[in-house]
Structure 1
Amino acid sequence: MAATSLSISDLTFIWPDGEPLFEGVDLVLGQGRTGLVGLNGSGKSTLLRLIAGRLCPERGSVTVSGALGYLRQDLTISTGQRVDEILGIRSTRDALHRIESGAATEFDFDDVGGQWDIEERAVALLGKLGLAHIVAEPAQLERTIETLSGGEAVLLGLTAELLRDPDVLLLDEPTNNLDRVARERLYEVVAQFPGTLVVVSHDRELLDRMDIIAELRDGGVRLFGGNFTVYEQTVAAEQEAARAAFRDAKNDVRKQGRELVEARTKLDRRKRYGKKMFEQKREPKIVMGLRKMQAEESAGKLRNNHIEKLEEAKATLDEAEKALRDDREIRVDLPATRLYPGQDVIDLDDFPLACGPVVTLKVSGPERIALTGRNGIGKTTLLDAIAAQGPKVPSRTLPQRLDIFDESLSVFENVAHQAPHALPEEIRAQLARFLFRGADADVAAAALSGGERLRAALAMLLLAEPAPRLLMLDEPTNNLDLPSLAHLTQALASFQGALIVVSHDQPFLQQIGITRWVELTEEGLSTAPVG
């Protein structure tokens, strides 16, 4: 494959409401793997959509050398479709079959082009990505999809893009909903892709497989050589230097302020002394007038000099402050969520799930359980069954889509509905701990970014009445930027009840202190302690 590249020149994008997102962005990427990172709302997915031609820029250009593939974050696949339709190869297969049967037209040869092995390639790719249970042979490409998990939809979408032989491939949160085995298969695809790959992800393991990290920040892009770990180390070193520069600049502003006050005090003394001499007429009037003029000129220069130094110090302080990143942390004190060892939480005995398995699950005390299993096995169904059966303690569930808000209400109003007996000032004080301070708490839920929705959802669950002593979280790290992931980890560290977490994010599960692993299989639940 020839060297491929992606070139962005003077890219400017403005939202319909007039809010600018990108202003004059320039970026050139050659062959290799690039991880695109940034805060929620910084424009990562929007930039991919601009590159893919799904959005039009206000100004500037995007140039892609070769064919482009694009796996969207919000990919939806309708059940009832044929597999070859989802993969985008039905017309090619139909043309191929007409050629083989002798009923071809000249257009059929154009449709097939050089893709004589498209069926075999499709089946091989599906098998490589762990979807052999959907299609194991070419004839099964005609089958319709009856049910599909979120992870299977992602893998089918990826297969469709890879079948197009892209030279430039854009992946937006490709590990969302993927189980551990599927993630490893995707990592292998990423490692073997020969062209230009751009990945938006919160998955540290995936980002550590990148050659370059491109950071979106304040409407611009900055490139860092190396993987995500190297990027973090670089940013940490820069932040240490920025904090030192900020402290120095702050001290200099104080120093220049003191010197300006001292200078003004001295000038006032001189002025009073000169006035006294003038009134006492101890020298000729012309001499005293000349001295007064010289004194005023000298005083003006001195005062202006100190003012300039103070303004320069303030400007330096402003620049130093801009270099500092927002590292605010969620700090929550939730004593009402506490559970004690041995306290009964869940007692599910030989319960048949709608998806097939019969499960038994007992949870006691402040256990932290990681619920795992292949995509489509029924983990979300199990959480729904636990909630429907009624745990023995107050519980709350965080769904994958974070769709627990009344979108027309503010963050404050949504939380207030869950805690009707709490005083407004108590709610606002608690929301501040979730980083919704002042007017931020009055923003409508519909206007929140992904990371803000997560914090607001956590506030709704943890501040609800009665306080939850069991939290069930369904893929909580999907679509989170890394600061938001840190916020989630901080909040869960403060939670003193029981946790059941559906997630394939191993580092996250380790950070929140999982005490037991539970895997859902076709036969039921198997459990293993952490160790």
Structure 2
Amino acid sequence: MPTTLTSAVTLDRVTYAWPDGTVALSDVSGAFGGGRTGLVGRNGSGKSTLLKLIAGTLVPASGSISTAGRVDLLPQQLTLDTGRRVADVLGIAPVLDAVRAIERGDVDERHFDTVGDDWDVEARATAALAEVGLPDKALDRRVGELSGGEAVLAALVGVRLRGAEIALLDEPTNNLDRDARARVHELVRTWRGTLIVVSHDVALLEELDDTAELYEHELSVFGGPYSAWKAWLDTEQAAAVQAETAARQLLRREKRDRQQVESAIAMRNAHGKKLAAKKAAPKIVLGAMKRSAEVTAGKLRVEANEKVEAARAAVDTADRRVRDDDTVHIDLPDPGVGTGRRIATIGDGERSWTIQGPERVALVGPNGAGKTTLLERLVASAGAVGIPGRALSVPNAGSAGGEGGETGSDAASALHSAHHDVTAEAHTDRIGYLSQRVDGLDEAASVLANVRAGAPGVGDAELRNRLARFLIRGDTVLRPVSALSGGERFRVALAQLLLADPAPHLVVLDEPTNNLDLDTVDQLVDAVSAYRGAVLVVSHDDAFLERIGPDLTLELRDGRMTEL
């Protein structure tokens, strides 16, 4: 159902195309209310582009955008100068420096002009930073001294302090650990003014008043959080499918009725010809009967054709309501992992846990705890880093298992210095690893060549069939990886991992939902659910972890591992 809030942002037939001619948005119209709205849609649907157009950093090719006040944008990719102070990121550095200069005795008039009435800027900014967990004196720290999560939180506090009437946040919780995500959620929960958030973080979307969707260049806004919108969409789609079925049944019935009309007309014509041949009535009477039959037949044909065309139009209308979005359908080979088979052992130096059989194990913990180090050490210890037959660079290690590089055990030893308490040992050499950077692909090679590298014994025709189940079809398989969209790259990396031959006994996933739209997350859940081997996944996405149903959840924090 549409929301009825007063519009803060109005779009009228907005179109935008990239310099190469690719249309990002076409004739998009709609409005965002004055509250807090979550904006969802598939990767590539134009969500980030739409935010940039609203913020004015991009200019539409046609159409217009009106806003009820100033607009501030927190982009998805923060390009913060590591040498800048946090005060600069917050946008308060000139006022802060002017206040401090006056306090030191500098009474230059320009300092007073800069400060205006904002004498408490330092206290307000310090309090706002403390609210998201940043320490005292953070205003004078350099961005390079902050963690990635702290930098995002500081930038978000800056948007809030600047107080624009309309704030736009693009994937604000990407790459944040649980603590930082919780702080973002709290900021959003208490936000004043208009807020539009692009996110695949379901928990964050639940904090918002409305849900907007950008789907096939159409913007619709629903009055309610994500779960309510999803329930409404599912119900609407079920009704649409039912309406489509009924419309097709009516069309078939009207076609049958038209055929019966034609048969009746043909029989009547045949009867008239017999009467004429037998001269059963005067010629003038037979002529009148023929003319009457022709008029009646014409009316019947028109009525029958009109009913068929009306039924066909109803089918077209019903078809347009039904979404025919493709989904990943995967029939994966059985990697032969028995219930009692030991796959890997991980621990913290004091305790250890064994991944056994086709278990799903989740590893959680704050950023910097050493989760990725543990994964890389585990993969390196197998002696086959990444997809079988492919080498993957590991920090502080050589090309493990590659020509001229260190052995897997040597690579694991080299990694040991980073987080000395973390232990990891593989009991199989068949491990598939998908890093959070999705950087295990050969950028210059084609999609088909990348997947073939992991399955050298499988023919190209069969690989094409398998790739089609990942929605990678036609000429796309011949395109170089460098030319793919983010969603396509992820599906290729996932296909390369899961279609490896022989199939990996253990699939290792590091923050797999980063930068994925909700539909692609659904596809990932389906793929992991269909896989019959062991899975070890690092993620801050609680909703994703809940859906894959881990048999064991471990938390790594301060060098110690705890079973949750």
Task: Return closer, same or farther for 1:464/1:111 CA change in 2, 3 Å cut-off.
Answer: farther
- Alpha-carbon distance, 1:469 to partner: 1.9
Correspondent of 1:187 among 185, 190, 196: 185
Matches within 5 A, 1:485-496: 485-496=521-532
Correspondent of 1:243 among 227, 241, 265: 241
The CA deviation string for residues 388-431 of structure 1, in whole angstroms up to 9 with x for no partner, is 33332312222223344445655444323432221233223222
Q: Are 2:313 and 1:315 equivalent residues in the alignment?
A: yes
Percent identity (aligned): 45
Task: Return closer, same or farther for 1:258/1:84 CA change in 2, 3 Å cut-off.
Answer: same
Q: Are 2:110 and 1:118 equivalent residues in the alignment?
A: no
In structure 2, the partner of 1:15 is: 17
- Alpha-carbon distance, 1:52 to partner: 0.9
In structure 1, the partner of 2:370 is: 378
In structure 2, the partner of 1:366 is: 358
In structure 2, the partner of 1:39 is: 42
SS at match of 1:163: helix
In structure 1, the partner of 2:106 is: 103
- Alpha-carbon distance, 1:149 to partner: 4.4
| Structure 1: gaps spanning 5 or more residues | 352-357
- Alpha-carbon distance, 1:267 to partner: 2.6
Q: Are 2:140 and 1:142 equivalent residues in the alignment?
A: yes
Task: Return closer, same or farther for 1:443/1:234 CA change in 2, 3 Å cut-off.
Answer: farther
Distance in 1, matches of 2:81 and 2:339, equals 46
8 Å Cα contact 1:331/1:494 also seen in 2? no
Distance in 1, matches of 2:304 and 2:480, equals 47
Give the residue type in structure 1 aligned to 2:238. E
| Structure 2: gaps spanning 5 or more residues | 383-425
Task: Return closer, same or farther for 1:249/1:343 CA change in 2, 3 Å cut-off.
Answer: same
| Structure 1 residue runs of 4 or more that deviate by more than 6 Å after TM superposition | 358-361
Task: Return closer, same or farther for 1:188/1:26 CA change in 2, 3 Å cut-off.
Answer: same
8 Å Cα contact 1:4/1:65 also seen in 2? no
* Structure 1 range deviating more: 201-210 or 420-429: 420-429
* Structure 1 range deviating more: 115-124 or 437-446: 437-446
Matches within 5 A, 1:82-93: 82-93=85-96
In structure 1, the partner of 2:539 is: 503
Give the residue type in structure 2 aligned to 1:520. L
- Alpha-carbon distance, 1:349 to partner: 7.2
Correspondent of 1:27 among 13, 22, 31: 31
- Alpha-carbon distance, 1:269 to partner: 3.1
Task: Return closer, same or farther for 1:335/1:281 CA change in 2, 3 Å cut-off.
Answer: same
Task: Return closer, same or farther for 1:375/1:348 CA change in 2, 3 Å cut-off.
Answer: closer
Task: Return closer, same or farther for 1:327/1:387 CA change in 2, 3 Å cut-off.
Answer: same
Task: Return closer, same or farther for 1:155/1:275 CA change in 2, 3 Å cut-off.
Answer: same
The CA deviation string for residues 1-59 of structure 1, in whole angstroms up to 9 with x for no partner, is xx9962214141131316362415131412x2211122222222222111111111233
Matches within 5 A, 1:391-430: 391=426, 392-407=428-443, 411-430=447-466
- Alpha-carbon distance, 1:439 to partner: 5.8
Give the residue type in structure 2 aligned to 1:182. A
Give the residue type in structure 2 aligned to 1:526. M
Distance in 2, matches of 1:306 and 1:411, equals 52
Task: Return closer, same or farther for 1:18/1:186 CA change in 2, 3 Å cut-off.
Answer: closer
Count of aligned pairs: 514
Give the residue type in structure 2 aligned to 1:96. V
In structure 2, the partner of 1:480 is: 516
In structure 2, the partner of 1:175 is: 173
Task: Give the alignment's TM-score, normalised by structure 1.
Answer: 0.87
SS at match of 2:303: helix
Matches within 5 A, 1:54-73: 54-73=57-76
Distance in 2, matches of 1:370 and 1:404, equals 22
Give the residue type in structure 1 aligned to 2:73. Y
8 Å Cα contact 1:4/1:167 also seen in 2? no
- Alpha-carbon distance, 1:463 to partner: 0.4
Distance in 1, matches of 2:460 and 2:281, equals 72
Distance in 2, matches of 1:47 and 1:156, equals 24
Task: Return closer, same or farther for 1:515/1:259 CA change in 2, 3 Å cut-off.
Answer: same
Task: Return closer, same or farther for 1:85/1:58 CA change in 2, 3 Å cut-off.
Answer: same
Distance in 1, matches of 2:213 and 2:71, equals 22
SS at match of 2:189: helix
Distance in 2, matches of 1:389 and 1:296, equals 88
SS at match of 1:504: coil
The CA deviation string for residues 357-387 of structure 1, in whole angstroms up to 9 with x for no partner, is x996653333322222212333233322322
RMSD: 2.9
* Structure 1 range deviating more: 147-156 or 298-307: 147-156
8 Å Cα contact 1:366/1:498 also seen in 2? yes
SS at match of 2:503: coil
The CA deviation string for residues 449-478 of structure 1, in whole angstroms up to 9 with x for no partner, is 544443333212100233122222122122
8 Å Cα contact 2:99/2:115 also seen in 1? yes
8 Å Cα contact 1:345/1:393 also seen in 2? no
SS at match of 2:59: coil
